[in-house]
Amino acid sequence: MRSKMFSKEKKQESPDAFREKNTFGTTMTWMTETLHRHSLFLLLPPLLYSCYIDQQVTRVAWLNRSNILYAGNDKWSIDLRVQLLQYSPSEFSIMISHVDVYDEGLYTCSFQTQDKPHTSQVYLIVHVPARIVNISSAVTVNEGSNVNLLCLAVGKPEPTVIWRQLKDGFTSEGEYLEISEINREQAGEYECITANGVSTQDSKHVLITVNYPPIITDVKDSRPLIGKTALLRCEAMAVPAAEFQWFKDDKHRLISGSDGLQIQNERTRSILLFTNVTTRHYGNYTCLASNSLGSYNEFQHAFTQGGETSVCM
């Protein structure tokens, strides 16, 4: 009598098979109390287990843990995914379709011969690709605040989780990323990456926006020659973007289109354009940049006679 059990996912026999003589003097080979570990990745074709027997086997059954799946032709399992593929004098095979993590465990082919019962076993390990199931939403904070990000991942084996700042490559391992007293340089996209070696890694992004008051970064001007075109330009960085205003002699707010002046405001800069410089344009000009944080910086431009321009803070 010859009896063995294997999974077609492995396609190999165990070295634990042995031979012994029965009372009739014939040679028989079977697997007795043999245990294999079989790793399976999800989304694979159906899993097939076969137990090879012969005519001396009187009864045979497939069990998952202690639950009988099939006893001969009789199905005991209520799981529709479990099917009997073949029951013949030489083979007893079952198939499990749509394998998931709950199918993991010990599978036993139990068979009875005339002399005693025997078992052959395989342990199914189901590997689940790592994936992110929960991640923090986009965050907007004021500079100096504390920021906490969460990235929750699942998989089998247990996946690793790494946070990475895309701008400068900073990394931190673990589901939680804590940033104390965040500054404007730490703003930007952060990527959560999870992997467990089963399949390709999974990743998601979180955007951190850091609000800060305006700071004027550059001031440019051209010489104010009578009858010529001249301009003053001031650039400021801020989040939210700064709003610009121009003042003359610290009291008169300038309006675009009046007195031969044009004001062109963009996201990070403002240009005060003099289309035709006259003596009435001489004076001190102030650029004021402000946002919702209520702070501002200002630079003063002095238009003077003789075609000279001075700039001071």
- The 3-class secondary structure across the chain, one letter per residue, is CEEEEEECCCCCCCCCCEEEECCCCCEEEECCCEEEEEEEECCCCCEEEEEECCCCCCEEEEEECCEEEEECCEECCCCCCEEEEEECCCEEEEEECCCCHHHCEEEEEEEECCCCEEEEEEEEEEEEEEEEEEECCCEEEECCCCEEEEEEEEEECCCEEEEEECCCCCEEECCEEEECCCCHHHCEEEEEEEECCCCCCEEEEEEEEEEEEEEEEEEEECCCCCCCCEEEEEEEEEECCCEEEEEECCCEECCCCCCCEEEEECCCEEEEEECCCCHHHCEEEEEEEECCCCCEEEEEEEECCCCCEEEEC
Q: What is the pLDDT of residue 306?
A: 54
Q: What is the mean pLDDT of the chain?
A: 81
What is the pLDDT averaged over residues 44-60?
84
What is the pLDDT averaged over residues 118-125?
88
Q: What is the pLDDT of residue 1?
A: 37
Of the candidate ranges 16-20, 247-251, 302-306, 309-313, the one whose mean pLDDT is the lowest: 16-20
Asked whether the predicted pLDDT for residue 151 surpasses 80, the reply is yes
Q: What is the pLDDT of residue 239?
A: 95
What is the pLDDT averaged over residues 99-125?
88
| pTM higher than the cut 0.75 | no
What is the pLDDT averaged over residues 130-134?
97
Asked whether the predicted pLDDT for residue 92 surpasses 80, the reply is yes
pLDDT tens by residue, 159-184: 999 999 999 889 999 999 999 999 99
